[in-house]
Amino acid sequence: MQLRDNMGRGDKIVSIEIVKEKAFYEEVWFYAIVRVVFIVLLAIIVRIYITKKAHVLEKKQKETMALVKGITEAFAKVIDMKDRYTNGHSFRVAKYTGMLAKELGYNEETVQRYYQIALLHDIGKIGIPQEVLNNPGKLSDEEFEIIKSHTSLGYDVLKEISIMPELAVGTQAHHERPDGRGYPNHLKKDEIPRVAQIVAVADCFDAMYSNRPYRNRMNFDKVVSIIREVSGTQLTPDVVEAFLRLADKGVLRAADDVGGGTTENIDNIEKE
């Protein structure tokens, strides 16, 4: 700012510089703090939104899985009602499958999922004629082919359930064998889906180690011996190893097993 002085000799110009002190909200540090606070608040809001959304999705997923659980258990009961000779088989195979999956180191979510898949492994038997399914004698070649079709029938029933595609896979492949002599697609070794490898061992064990109206269960040690012998040919080796560990722990032997049971091989294990 400039002022003219006329009181002395001549003209004199006086310059005055006025410095205005900045308010705190005009300072650079204030803008920096505001920016940081805004970013933090935005991050908190986003996190709250995502957490809330996640809780909603988690709740919905739990409700969906509870529904799937209810449906699979209901269907398992229908399967066992259809085959009077193997009543309870589906639930026992599911229990053994869960035990094997846990022994193999899978997390609880996977264990439960495999349990549900195992419950429906024989759902295709609903489409098998009663006279064939409940034939207590030795099956003819034609009858055996009909029995074998339950894997493909089951796959056709479950293949559209997108929420758990392994349901159909477990049903279709649980009679496949590492040596390629299984059915329906003659898969070998790692071509066989993991859940089907596990269900196969559980299914084989229960087929031999359970009572039927037409015969008693096999001797426990005999069953263990047979399963050990078919490791690598009919059953997947590391799953058999898990089975043997459980057998050694004593958790597979029935509470009422006092050492009895037939020691002769059972015909038509594939049927059961």
**158 occurs within a structural domain:** yes
Number of folded domains that form the chain: 1
pLDDT one-digit tens code per residue, 190-247: 999 999 999 999 999 999 998 776 677 889 999 999 999 999 999 999 999 999 999 9
Closest alpha carbon to 196 in 157, 239, 233:
239
**28 occurs within a structural domain:** no
User: Which domain range does residue 214 map to?
Assistant: 67-249
Pairing of strands 12-15, 2-5: antiparallel
**30 occurs within a structural domain:** no
- 22: Cβ–Cβ under 8 A, 6 or more apart, which residues? none
**22 occurs within a structural domain:** no
Mean pLDDT, range 44-54, rounded to an integer: 84
Instruction: Give 214 or 267, the one with higher predicted confidence.
Output: 214
The Cα–Cα gap between 251 and 77 comes to 24
Which H or E run includes 13? strand 12-15
pLDDT at 100: 98
Which range (82-86, 102-106, 133-137) has the least confidence? Answer: 82-86
pLDDT at 15: 64
**36 occurs within a structural domain:** no
Answer whether residue 248 shows pLDDT above 90. Answer: yes
Mean pLDDT, range 82-107, rounded to an integer: 88
**207 occurs within a structural domain:** yes
Which range (7-11, 94-98, 187-191, 218-222) has the least confidence? Answer: 7-11
Task: Write out the E strands in 174-217.
Answer: none
**271 occurs within a structural domain:** no
Residue 119 is part of a domain; what is its CATH number? 1.10.3210.10
Which range (3-7, 98-102, 164-168) has the least confidence? Answer: 3-7
**106 occurs within a structural domain:** yes
pLDDT one-digit tens code per residue, 125-171: 888 888 887 777 778 889 889 999 999 999 998 888 877 888 899 89
